[in-house]
């Protein structure tokens, strides 16, 4: 079964230009011929700019399923695990916050009744 992967493509260029905008414009042209470092890992998060309704890149781009559908079909097990871990952390933080608020109420009540 295919899985979803996040892929980072990095390169650095030195560009002689009149402005940052011109440098970026020129870099887009030269980057097509550049030397890239490419790193792939199983998807554990949605990269910036990607939404669940986006269709991921693929071998032939014939697949029209979006990321959300693919996650539901089991193509992103590490994403599901990361999401579950995040929910556990959020739950623990919520519990800790409630305990801290309870202690604050008890301290205020105790201090008020000691006067």
For the chain, give every domain's residue range: 5-83
pTM of structure: 0.62
**Per-residue pLDDT tens digits for 80-106:** 999 999 999 999 999 999 999 988 888
**φ and ψ at residue 72, rounded to 5 degrees:** -60, -30
**Per-residue pLDDT tens digits for 36-83:** 778 889 999 999 889 999 999 876 667 788 999 999 999 999 999 999
**CA–CA separation, 77 and 50 (whole Å):** 18
Average pLDDT, the chain: 86
């Amino acid at each position: 079964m295919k899985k979803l992967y996040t892929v980072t493509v990095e390169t650095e260029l030195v560009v002689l230009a009149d402005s940052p905008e011109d440098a970026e414009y020129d870099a887009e042209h030269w980057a097509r011929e550049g030397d890239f470092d490419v790193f792939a890992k199983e998807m554990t998060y949605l990269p910036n700019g990607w939404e669940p309704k986006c269709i991921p890149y693929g071998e032939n781009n014939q697949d029209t399923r979006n990321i959300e559908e693919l996650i539901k079909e089991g193509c992103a097990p590490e994403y599901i695990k990361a999401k579950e871990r995040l929910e556990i952390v959020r739950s623990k933080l919520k519990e800790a916050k409630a305990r801290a608020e309870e202690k604050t109420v008890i301290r205020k009540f105790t201090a008020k009744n000691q006067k």
